[in-house]
Amino acid sequence: MLRLLRKPLLSLVVLLALLLVGEVLVRALTNTEPPIVMRDATLGRRFLTSYDAEVYDEESEREVHVRTTRDGFRGPDRPYTPAPDTTRIAVLGDSMIAALAMEEAETLCGQLEARLNGDGGDESYEVLNFGVLGSSTAQEMLIYEQVAQRYEPDVVVLSFFSGNDLADNHRGLTSNPRIYFDLDEEGLLVQEPYSVSRSQVSAWLNRNSRLYVWQKQVLRNNKIVKADPAKTMRPADWTFASDPPPNVERAWEITAALIARLKVEVEANGARLVLLHVPGSKQICGDLYDAVVARAGEAGASFERDNPDTRATEIAEALELPLLSLTPVLRAAAPSDSAAVQEEWLYYGGTMHWNERANALAAEALHAFLGELQRGA
């Protein structure tokens, strides 16, 4: 029996030794970090709660100090009930709002708070960042229902990132594990089944093994590299379709219904909902948009570069919501209309998340827009 087991046992020992060496090398030679985003049965995704550490960000190629609240969102803990003479603004969104490439003070939320408090006056302002990586409009609605409204915000800013939010709002366009809604025969929102069940071994490895996290990143990056961007149409590209196929039109209908439900809930709490349209890099740089049309083939004949703004405006007008589109602001800051001009980049790498310039421009525009709303109220 011992002779029979000797070879398998020896192989197991060698394998464990190699894994241990790999773990040591990854920790010593790479910036691989355990993920700070976790799945949540109610919200879909949120950050680890009460987290406080330096996190290496690949896009900005630097370490960023990230702290999260007791509820799992970026920023400092604040009491649920605001202090007297304090106006609270809750900003809902995805990774563009979470802005993990930025220090807290550099994010849209951080800069907006600083600008509001720099206006003078007896009132103080708090801007709460409820952005989460991979979030969708559905998740943002649930975050308001379950968490954000407890902080009694006076204004709720819903960020709609046309770069991928439309695709993320309908399972017919993407199958990524997240919370989805659909519409029943009467046009009412119905949440689809969602499970956070996940291998306990995988969850443990995510938190404790840098080697495990590193190999997942390598496999994902290799998959991206092997995809031919000139031939691979992405679900998010359909946001430009002015005559969309049925599943894309359904995604727009679901998006409008989600925003409508959020508006009802925000206003029932005595607050005001503001819609913020965040354009993707393809809407800002003409060369990137041309590439989208080219890879769409025949479908690209119905594409319009400003269609995301057109649809966002239609939703806002139908719901009587104030809308701020950042498309004109960002286009004015990139007049060459090309991602090849690095001096004008607003997105890391020209295409990814907002850099420092874009966050500053967005904060400035939103600050002015909220001021106009307040004066017009």
CATH number of the domain bearing residue 302: 3.40.50.1110
Is residue 11 in some structural domain? Answer: no
Is residue 188 in some structural domain? Answer: yes
Encoded tokens for 20: 């241990």
The b-or-e profile of 103-112 (16+ CB within 10 A means b, else e) is ebebbbbbbb
Counting the structural domains of the chain, the total is 1
Is residue 77 in some structural domain? Answer: no
What sign results for the dihedral spanned by CA atoms 191, 176, 59, 213? positive
What is the C-alpha separation between 48 and 260, in angstroms, rounded?
A: 30
244-263 pLDDT, tens per residue? 999 999 999 999 999 999 99
Cβ pair 368, 374 in contact under 8 A: no
26-68 pLDDT, tens per residue? 566 666 566 688 888 899 889 999 999 999 898 998 999 999 9
Is residue 113 in some structural domain? Answer: yes
Encoded tokens for 156: 């709720």
The percent of residues in the chain predicted with pLDDT above 90, rounded, is: 68
Encoded tokens for 368: 């002015």
User: Region 117-136: what's the mean pLDDT?
Assistant: 92
List phi, psi (to 5°) of 76: -80, 155
Give the domain range for residue 122. 85-376
List phi, psi (to 5°) of 97: -85, -40
Which residue has better confidence, 201 or 187?
187
Say whether pLDDT at 228 is over 60: no
Amino acid at 309: D
Is residue 146 in some structural domain? Answer: yes
Amino acid at 53: A
DSSP 193: P
What is the C-alpha separation between 109 and 348, in angstroms, rounded?
A: 19
Is residue 234 in some structural domain? Answer: yes
Say whether pLDDT at 325 is over 80: yes
Residue 13: Cβ within 10 Å count: 10
Query: Which distant-in-sequence residues (6+ apart) come within 8 Å of 105 by Cβ?
Result: 111, 114
Predicted TM-score (pTM) of the model is 0.87
Amino acid at 43: L
Which residue has better confidence, 18 or 234?
234
What is the C-alpha separation between 118 and 113, in angstroms, rounded?
A: 8
Say whether pLDDT at 365 is over 60: yes
Is residue 143 in some structural domain? Answer: yes
In the block, tokens 């020992």 appear at 13
